[in-house]
């Protein structure tokens, strides 16, 4: 590394070091992608039928693949987000037979024979569903990354309890984290969604 006469790092040395670090980062990134499982061999694959948003899909999956991975990477439904991938944040929440579940903690094989609903499945053609509309009206998002999971948790709650109390809303949404801290708006949005669904 080039240093000046005082022993400090020179501008040229800094640029050389930064360039070398960038090259190393790109090279290592190509070697190991954290979100993509290693390529599967054909003999390791299993055919499953998945019913997602009212459509049936025949998909070849590896037994260890999560429902989240298959929905996003095989079916192209990217509304469900990759968050913690350990069942803590709720960004990947989908409905399985109407019940909110973490897609990252559910194997794709487990979802066979069930009805899976993702955030895309709440749309009415090009129009937002009631819960989605309520989230817009009550400004229940900031960065928006957790929003699909929050919407699905709210949808699951409202399918069971059509007019929830604030306590029921807090409990029903407690499995989904918002790092921006928009909880007051989230709770208002769920209450508004209940009104829209009734109307």
Contact 129, 193 (CB under 8 A): no
**Distance (Å, whole) CA 199 – CA 195:** 6
What pLDDT, on a 0 to 100 scale, did the predictor assign at position 14? 59
Annotation: CATH topology of 35-122:
Ubiquitin-like (UB roll) (3.10.20)
| pLDDT-flagged residues of the chain (< 70) | 1-40, 42
What pLDDT, on a 0 to 100 scale, did the predictor assign at position 199? 79
What pLDDT, on a 0 to 100 scale, did the predictor assign at position 13? 66
What pLDDT, on a 0 to 100 scale, did the predictor assign at position 177? 97
Instruction: Enumerate the domain spans of the chain.
Output: 35-122, 124-199
Burial string for 21-57 (b: 16+ CB within 10 Å, else e) reads eeeeeeeeeeeeeeeeeeeeeeeeeeebebbbbeeee
Instruction: Just give the CATH number of 124-199.
Output: 1.10.150.120
> Cα-Cα-Cα-Cα dihedral of 99, 37, 55, 158, to 10°?
20
The CA–CA distances, whole Å, from 186 to 12, 19, 81, 93, 107 equal: 51, 44, 18, 16, 29
What pLDDT, on a 0 to 100 scale, did the predictor assign at position 173? 97
What pLDDT, on a 0 to 100 scale, did the predictor assign at position 6? 57
């Amino acid at each position: 590394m080039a240093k000046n006469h005082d022993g400090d790092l020179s501008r040229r040395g800094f640029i050389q070091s930064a360039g070398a670090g960038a090259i190393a980062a790109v090279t290592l990134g190509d070697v190991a992608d954290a979100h993509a499982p290693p390529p599967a061999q054909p003999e390791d694959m299993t055919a499953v039928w998945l019913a997602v948003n009212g459509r049936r899909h025949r998909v070849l999956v590896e037994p260890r693949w999560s429902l989240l991975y298959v929905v996003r990477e095989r079916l192209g439904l990217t509304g469900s987000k990759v968050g913690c991938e350990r069942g803590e944040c709720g960004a990947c929440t989908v409905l399985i037979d109407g019940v909110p579940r973490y897609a990252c903690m559910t194997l794709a094989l487990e979802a066979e024979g069930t009805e899976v609903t993702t955030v895309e499945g709440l749309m009415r053609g090009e129009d937002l569903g009631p819960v989605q509309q309520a989230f817009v009206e009550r400004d229940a998002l900031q960065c928006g990354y957790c929003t699909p999971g929050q919407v699905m948790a709210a949808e699951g709650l409202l399918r069971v309890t059509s007019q929830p109390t604030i306590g029921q809303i807090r409990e029903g949404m407690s499995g989904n984290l918002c790092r921006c801290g928009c909880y007051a708006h989230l709770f208002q949005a769920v209450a508004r969604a209940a009104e829209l669904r009734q109307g």
